[in-house]
A and B are shown apart, each in its own frame.
Chain A
Amino acid sequence: MQSVVIAGYARSPFHLANKGALARVRPDDLTAQVIRGLIGKTGVNPAEIEDLIVGCAFPEGEQGLNVARLIGLLADLPISVGGMTVNRFCGSSMSGIHYAMGQIAIGAGEVFICAGVESMSRVPMMGFNPMPNPALAQKSAVYMSMGETAENVAAKYQISRADQEALAVESQKRAAAAREAGKFADEIVTIETKGGPVSEDGTIRPETTAETLAGLKPAFDAQGSVTAGTSSPLTDGASAVLVTTEDYARKNNLPILARIKAVSISGCAPETMGLGPILSSQKAMARAGITAADLDVVELNEAFASQALACIKDLGLDSAKTNIDGGAIAIGHPLGATGARIVGKAASLLKREGGKYALASQCIGGGQGIATVLEAVE
């Protein structure tokens, strides 16, 4: 099989939905700017891109009408480049990367941009026309709110509120330190908005302490333990990675970050969807022939502190190596954009921190997990 690499990663700054600096930016415009940024920093020849794949959890409204094609045109990609929108909720843009890898394997192209976007300001969660099937609602928890699933995981794994808050504080601390040290500078593309250029995340709250979190009310269940402080915030953002064959990247002097070693997808119970990464990560690691002990870098999406802790525990992950620059609780979780962000981030951390293997994994509403194992390229 051809070796496939991540040959570049870029993202927009992440901002809180509705009140943040990107609330008034259309998601198609936002993603187009990120893609221009990615092309600019990698130097890839746009004419050789096979397809633009955009992950999006709620592809309607301004994210609708096969937004990938629209973004390609907005970004002035050559007319010959395709465009496809992928929906697997939070796993959308990671699925896009997996799809590109598959296309490469069947000889259907060499160069792909795999992007993701979500404007949670402009397209609401559940979309504009939520119309659940009443019969399925009776039979399954598939429509359960994400917050409730986080409560279920906390209850099942007996994860205390204090432990959740400790993870949230650590996430905020790491993200704030990383920003302070300029460690996001290489990934963030400045976004031009009507209100001026935006080049820093607006989600991180460095002032967060265990005490401030302890004062918050439960966000989803009056008797529960999950609060807004231990959940990822509603976020606006876009991300993109360049996926190519290793040969192509070398030939064209693209900045190779890591090789994609193995991928997987798995289902799980909808009511504890936060546990999705466990099985998917185990499958991907098995396919890569490694164990958790072999991992040097882990990007585990913090949809909620409770599910992240449960996954860390069951997978036997090393907290020190997990979400080194902070996780989604601090940085934010623009649903469709997260997959490309954590794969791109894991790849660039592997390069920055050194080591051999990295894992990027996340849970998916409705009960799924998705995982990608990366390998350092010599």
Chain B
Amino acid sequence: MSDSIKKVCVIGAGTMGAGIAAQVANAGVPVLLLDIVPKDGANRNAIAEGAVAKMLKTEPAPFMSKAAAKLVETGNIEDHLGKVAECDWVIEAVIERLDIKQGLYAKLEAVKRDGTAVSSNTSTIPLANLVEGRSDAFKRDFLITHFFNPPRYMRLLEIVTGPETDAGVAAKVEAFADVAMGKTVVKAKDTPGFIANRIGTYWIQLGINAAFEMGLSVELADAIAGKPMGVPKTGIFGLVDLVGIDLMPHLQASLTSTLPQDDPYHAIAIDHPLIGRMIADGYTGRKGKGGFYRLNKEAGRRKEAIDLATGEYRPAIKAAGPRGSAAKGDLKALAESKGDIGAYAWAILGGTLAYAAALVPAAASDVVAVDDAMKLGYNWKAGPFEMIDKLGAKYLADRLEAEGKPVPEMLKIAGTRTFYRVENGKRQFLGLDGEYHDVVRPEGVLRLADVKLASKPLIKNASAALWDVGDGVVCLEFTGKMNALDGEVMKLIVQAIPLVASQYKALVVYNDADAFSAGANLGLALFAINIAAYGEIEKLVAGGQMAYKGLKYAPFPVVGAPAGLAVGGGCEILLHCDAVQAHAELYTGLVECGVGLIPGWGGNGEMLDRARKAKMMPKGPMPPVAKVFETVSTATVSRSAAQAKELLFLRPDDGITMNRDRLLYDAKQKALSMVEGYTPPEAPEFRLPGASGHEALNMAVDGFHKRGMATDYDVVVSNELATVLSGGEADVVDTVTEQELLKLEREAFMRLVHDKRTIARVEHMLETGKPLRN
């Protein structure tokens, strides 16, 4: 279906419109970005062009690659609206004014093809109003697609269709948004604020009100309504600082003017004079002079917070937030905490969860839609109904009733039951009919979590597990903290190879976590160093080399399927896979030098091998070596899967999946496609530049050192890396085998392990999470 959208037009080059255009381009689809003609200046496309230029400098980057940026064609709506005829989907992201949107639609109607979808990115205006005065044909092609900011990184897309929207048109847009743009589509009803912002705004307002009423410090409020509730650790005040305090009155005005009079939001939508004053004085949050928090530059960048009672800044305090189970996701314990903590937690949980529960079926057709919206649109760990399950639906209903508050229908339906359950290995949700229904994944979505509910691992140890994901494909899952890699993982790999070889067709290396793998378990390594168990470390290095080469030469295809962070050993395992199917958001690299080490699990040879095969690589022994040296010595990490290809961590024909939920399925398909006639790769042999090349690399590092860009110890670590990459003592006429290169790698790694400065780097990384520049 997504094939039917070949070109997209985005009208409105503000933050949202431009960001949406960038994500379309990230999908490899050409996009026309139009805005108005500026009042002054000769360049009539200046606004759209300026938006693209700005995005190229924005962090986090809206574009996944420079190539993507080239897919954006800019223009203006006076000269170029006719090009809409070339487009299959037009996304309107102009200012939130009904008259302007309606005027634009009238013009669009004259130029667009029938069947070209038109959608509005409105977050506030009902669909019924938007299409007033349009033809039936236009109404058939019209829907609302509500993206979240920033569009590349926020996975939620709320889609609202009207009674006249053509199902085929909506399906076409939905499929494209899902598969090509990587969004999880939540279908919302045509009600104000749709789902996520309606609940989110209510939640924020409630949190602010309660903190004022109870006289809490903002630090304490955020310590309660942050991590302990499974919402981002910024809490509510920190979040408002981030999105902009000045946005709040706009959201409030829009919702109060559109929500029905009996909506509970009206009762809590109060103005706090302090907030009005802050906005008027330019204290609009992080983008302004400061917000509820600020860094006082006059006081040496001291962190300060505003006192909600006096309106004055004071040094920030470390609030004594929830402790014990109340701090770790036990919502009932949190709500029943003594004093301010319990009172504040209950005020927010009770109010927000009751409000959310009441939105089914008014704003969303089922509980899954509400939960998905909050998880993907506000980065909550659990959605409102999943939170109610933790709290207890009965507990919530009883407490609401005791306080004389209305009990939403969904809570009554649940009674003493939960909203979710697992039955026969299937996750089910509670419907409006009081019955449980299977949570149905879209075609092409496979979650390891679902597999795990329905089956037992083939093998499992403390750090990894092996799952049968069907059709003869086995999934290797890392299970340690941050999916760190250790001897247990290697052991499991060694066990897996004969098992898959004898009973299955292919192996996929995948896990559901946000981070594919943070690399070797440094804590364990440091422990071994501290007790001088160097033999154990060498065994771990050699064992990892053997396990990874085992995967590489196994008699079945191995496909890596990483998402998020995949660094160090987590990158090296991908380098050993026959192919990779990566999520578009892949942050991969060989970062060992940052902790005073070099890649030790075969990463050097694998990188050299692909560098010498890279297109456009100049001939001769040095260019591949120099390229790998540059990437690895600087611990470069890709900012996307597309960039990982440029850095050679991925091969040109490795696949990229835009939608995180589709990654395992796509990887499995890729593995299956390789089964027929599969033969393992042959071991590479290298011609390396030896001492001369080593000298050249050292000279380059020397230059960086003199310029102050490389530290003293960087020079030492780089020298060891250069030793390996240049082939040690090899002469340029020699052939260096893969095994010889592995030996060089092991020896250099062990020399660094013995250096105190490496230990200092590892300790610093474990303590602070940041590299030590010694």
Where the two chains meet, the residues of A that have a C-beta atom closer than 8 Å to any C-beta of B are 61, 126, 128-134, 137, 143, 145, 147-148, 218-222, 224
Give 20 new A-B contacts, CB below 8 A, not counting A131-B696, A219-B707. Answer: A128-B619, A128-B622, A129-B618, A129-B620, A129-B689, A130-B696, A131-B692, A131-B732, A132-B695, A132-B696, A133-B695, A134-B691, A134-B692, A134-B695, A143-B699, A145-B699, A147-B703, A148-B706, A218-B707, A222-B708
Cβ of B623 within 8 Å of any chain A Cβ, yes or no, is yes
A61 to B622, CA, bound (A): 14
CB-based nearest B residue for A144: B699
Inter-chain contacts of B505 with A (CB < 8 A): none
Inter-chain contacts of A129 with B (CB < 8 A): 618, 620-623, 689
Cβ of B332 within 8 Å of any chain A Cβ, yes or no, is no
- Per-residue CB contact flags for chain B residues 596-620 toward chain A (1 = under 8 Å, else 0) read 0000000000000000000000111
Cβ of B151 within 8 Å of any chain A Cβ, yes or no, is no
When the two chains form their complex, are residues B620 and A126 in contact, meaning their CB atoms are under 8 A apart? Answer: no
Inter-chain contacts of B618 with A (CB < 8 A): 61, 128-129
| A61, A128, A129, A134 pick with most chain B CB within 10 angstroms | A129
Cβ of B172 within 8 Å of any chain A Cβ, yes or no, is no
When the two chains form their complex, are residues A128 and B623 in contact, meaning their CB atoms are under 8 A apart? Answer: yes
Also in contact, A220 and B692, with CB within 8 A (given A129-B621, A129-B622) = no
Between-chain CB contacts (< 8 Å), 30 pairs: A61-B618, A128-B618, A128-B620, A128-B622, A129-B618, A129-B621, A129-B622, A130-B622, A130-B693, A130-B699, A131-B621, A131-B622, A131-B689, A131-B692, A131-B695, A131-B696, A131-B732, A132-B692, A132-B695, A133-B692, A133-B695, A134-B695, A143-B695, A145-B703, A147-B703, A148-B706, A218-B707, A220-B703, A221-B707, A222-B706
Cβ of B140 within 8 Å of any chain A Cβ, yes or no, is no
Selected contact of B706 from candidates A61, A130, A220, CB within 8 Å? A220
- Counting from the closest, the 7 A-B pairs by CB-CB distance are A222-B708, A131-B692, A129-B620, A128-B618, A130-B696, A129-B622, A134-B695
A98 to B300, CA, bound (A): 64
A52 to chain B, nearest CB (A): 26
A250 to chain B, nearest CB (A): 47
Also in contact, A126 and B696, with CB within 8 A (given A61-B618, A134-B691) = yes
Inter-chain contacts of A221 with B (CB < 8 A): 706-707
A222 to B705, CA, bound (A): 9
CB-based nearest A residue for B697: A130
CB-based nearest B residue for A61: B618
B704 to chain A, nearest CB (A): 10
CB-based nearest A residue for B703: A145
Inter-chain contacts of B691 with A (CB < 8 A): 134
A136 to B751, CA, bound (A): 27
A181 to B693, CA, bound (A): 49
A220 to B702, CA, bound (A): 10
CB-based nearest A residue for B689: A131
Cβ of B694 within 8 Å of any chain A Cβ, yes or no, is yes
Interface residues of B in 687-731 (CB under 8 A from A): 689, 691-696, 699, 703, 706-708
When the two chains form their complex, are residues A131 and B693 in contact, meaning their CB atoms are under 8 A apart? Answer: yes
B710 to chain A, nearest CB (A): 11
Inter-chain contacts of B619 with A (CB < 8 A): 128
B622 to chain A, nearest CB (A): 4
Inter-chain contacts of B620 with A (CB < 8 A): 128-129
A145 to chain B, nearest CB (A): 5
Inter-chain contacts of B706 with A (CB < 8 A): 148, 220-222, 224
A137 to chain B, nearest CB (A): 5
CB-based nearest B residue for A123: B618
B609 to chain A, nearest CB (A): 18
A151 to chain B, nearest CB (A): 9
Inter-chain contacts of A148 with B (CB < 8 A): 703, 706
CB-based nearest B residue for A219: B707
B301 to chain A, nearest CB (A): 23
